[in-house]
């Protein structure tokens, strides 16, 4: 029997199926002698998706042929899927004969027949950018409390731009069952995709779906339902924000838990801004506690904050500015009692080689290297792309900003070893280069390659 998930428990403990990523497909013996699946349906979902994209109905108007060799066997599963009954969920690799940007596609089959094609995310199943590198997982979970499992897939793709472009990133797609069709949940899928690590798993998806759901709670109504709970889950301890940046983080100390709630003290950071929040939270359920501005020791604005315990993770969601918060400082994070994971831990190594870092340090000097270069690279916001200089030389183009400060840099590193780096500090800028033939005080012009 399917287990219902309520917003108060915020559990993701419904069975799922997941396989290893695969670029190679295997043919199946049950198809016709041409090795082709014939799908007959009206194909109306090949336009760019809106917030929630409705799939096409099963109308026998258009025949679509699928090469059986594109079926990814270890990402195709036999499953009893809601009202669809016993079906086979089939994942198919891109048709490279159509376009190098061809997308993966997904189908439901009964026996040898395709009965449904999952909604397209890109027009004509051609991606706007990024080459598909495989499928990392397929999962079937009820994540919206509708007593029907959603279909969740993780697709690996490469952008091909800059040193980080060859690192496969996970793109999440969530399809909601409408009974006789599925719809692509665009907002939720993009929210999750933007917050999971490059090698994200279904567990990362669950955590971010929980956060997304928390953002839509009616906290004012919840606060009216506070109650005495004799056997609440254990919130006490030291909690550190995880799956966040090292410079956008927080920590909580939770003490004095009893049947009414607990006391808390939190410190939160947004780059050079910081803030504090302390007070008491009261039980809404055995896994959720809530507080309002009247329960805080001090606050700058009205609002509410909730604490939710789900397994070994705690989630915090608050109204903007609650507590003694600086600009953009927030306690809203996923927390762990263990060692936190930071999404920018390896950003320097992903952006620069060791030889490049040594050359930059020698070029700009130790002081400038420590700050703003190294601090900006490891704790700021860094983007890297592949471009070309005026003479056609390929180069790596890196831009770095440090929010809450007036310091940043732009670096250009060519394939033949030339380095140009402009450091901006308040109203001044300084160019450093190892190119003896460059006499300008400005960076050379770089265009998209």
Burial bucket for residue 363 (CB in 10 Å: 0-12, 13-18, 19+):
middle
CB 49 within 8 A of CB 56: no
What pLDDT sits at residue 449? 60
Burial bucket for residue 132 (CB in 10 Å: 0-12, 13-18, 19+):
buried
What pLDDT sits at residue 13? 37
Lowest mean pLDDT among 7-11, 75-79, 219-223, 243-247: 7-11
What pLDDT sits at residue 270? 93
What pLDDT sits at residue 193? 86
pLDDT at 229 over 90: yes
Alpha-carbon separation of residue 356 from 366, 371, 398 (angstroms): 15, 17, 12
What pLDDT sits at residue 420? 97
Residue 388's DSSP bridge partners are 394, 447
pLDDT at 408 over 90: yes
What pLDDT sits at residue 33? 30
What pLDDT sits at residue 45? 39
pLDDT in tens, 365-397: 999 999 999 999 999 999 998 899 988 899 999
Alpha-carbon separation of residue 289 from 189, 194, 313 (angstroms): 28, 28, 14
What strands, in cross-sheet order, belong to the sheet with 105-110?
77-80, 86-92, 105-110, 113-117
**Where residue 230 falls among pLDDT bands split at 50, 70, 90?**
very high
Q: In the chain, how long is the greatest CA-to-CA distance?
A: 76
pLDDT in tens, 3-33: 322 333 344 433 334 444 333 333 333 333 3
DSSP string, 381-411: EEEEEEEEETTS-EEEEEEEE-TTSSEEEEE
pLDDT at 49 over 80: no
Q: If you average pLDDT over residues 127-153, what whole number do you get?
A: 86
What pLDDT sits at residue 55? 44
pLDDT in tens, 74-114: 888 998 998 898 999 999 888 888 888 888 889 998 888 88
Q: If you average pLDDT over residues 45-53, what whole number do you get?
A: 41
pLDDT in tens, 116-133: 899 988 888 888 887 888
pLDDT at 292 over 90: yes
Q: If you average pLDDT over residues 398-405, what whole number do you get?
A: 94
CB 237 within 8 A of CB 255: no
Could you tell me what percent of the chain has a pLDDT over 90? 47
Rounded distance between C-alpha atoms, residue 294 and residue 49, angstroms: 44
User: For the chain, first and last CA: distance in Å?
Assistant: 55
Could you tell me what percent of the chain has a pLDDT over 70? 83
What pLDDT sits at residue 413? 97
What pLDDT sits at residue 202? 87
Cβ-proximal residues to 345 (8 Å cutoff; 6+ apart), any chain: 246
Lowest mean pLDDT among 58-67, 71-80, 297-306: 58-67
Residue 126: both structure tokens together: 């051609």
DSSP string, 280-299: EEEEEETTEEEEEGGGBSS-
Q: If you average pLDDT over residues 144-148, what whole number do you get?
A: 82
Rounded distance between C-alpha atoms, residue 154 and residue 189, angstroms: 10
Query: What is the pTM (predicted TM-score) of this model?
Result: 0.66
Rounded mean pLDDT of the chain?
82
DSSP element (H, E) containing 263: strand 261-270
Q: 100: phi > 0 → left, psi -120 to 50 → alpha, else beta; which?
A: alpha
Rounded distance between C-alpha atoms, residue 280 and residue 214, angstroms: 20
What pLDDT sits at residue 217? 82
């Amino acid at each position: 029997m399917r287990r219902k998930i309520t917003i108060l428990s915020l559990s993701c403990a419904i069975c799922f199926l997941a396989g290893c990523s695969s670029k190679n497909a295997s043919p199946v013996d049950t198809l016709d002698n041409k090795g082709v699946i014939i799908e007959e349906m009206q194909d109306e979902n090949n336009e760019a998706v809106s917030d929630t994209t409705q799939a096409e109905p099963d109308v026998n108007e258009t025949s679509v042929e699928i090469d059986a060799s594109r079926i990814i066997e270890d990402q195709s599963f036999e499953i009893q899927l809601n009202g669809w009954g016993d079906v086979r969920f089939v994942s198919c690799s891109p048709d490279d004969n159509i376009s190098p940007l061809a997308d993966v596609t997904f189908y439901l089959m009964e026996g040898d027949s395709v009965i449904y094609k999952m909604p397209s995310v890109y027009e004509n199943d051609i991606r706007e950018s990024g080459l598909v590198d495989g499928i990392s997982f397929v999962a079937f979970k009820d994540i919206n409390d509708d007593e029907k499992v959603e279909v969740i897939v993780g697709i690996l793709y490469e952008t091909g731009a800059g040193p980080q472009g060859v690192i496969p990133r996970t793109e999440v797609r969530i399809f909601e069952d409408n009974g006789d069709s599925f719809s692509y949940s665009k907002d939720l899928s993009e929210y999750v995709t933007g917050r999971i690590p490059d090698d994200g798993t279904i567990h990362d998806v669950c955590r971010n779906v929980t956060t997304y759901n928390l953002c839509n709670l009616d906290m004012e109504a919840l606060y009216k339902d506070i109650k005495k709970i004799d056997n609440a889950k254990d919130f006490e301890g030291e909690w550190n924000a995880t799956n966040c940046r090292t410079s956008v983080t927080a920590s909580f100390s939770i003490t004095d838990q009893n049947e009414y709630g607990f006391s808390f003290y939190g410190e939160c950071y947004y780059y050079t801004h910081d803030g504090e929040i302390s007070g008491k939270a009261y039980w809404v359920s055995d896994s959720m506690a809530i507080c309002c501005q009247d329960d805080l020791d001090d606050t700058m604005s009205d609002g509410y904050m909730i604490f939710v315990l789900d397994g070994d993770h705690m989630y915090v969601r608050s109204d903007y500015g609650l507590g003694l918060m600086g600009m953009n400082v927030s306690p809203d994070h996923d927390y762990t009692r263990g060692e936190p994971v930071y999404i920018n831990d390896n950003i320097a190594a992903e952006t620069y080689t060791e030889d490049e870092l040594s050359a930059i340090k020698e070029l700009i000097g130790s002081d400038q290297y420590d700050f703003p270069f190294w601090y900006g690279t490891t704790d700021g916001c860094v983007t890297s792309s592949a471009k070309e200089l005026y003479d056609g030389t390929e180069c790596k183009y890196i831009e770095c900003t440090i929010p809450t400060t007036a310091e940043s840099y732009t670096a250009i590193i060519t394939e033949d070893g030339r380095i140009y780096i402009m450091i901006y500090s308040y109203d001044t800028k300084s160019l450093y280069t190892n190119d003896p033939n460059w006499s300008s005080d400005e960076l050379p012009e770089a265009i998209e390659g």
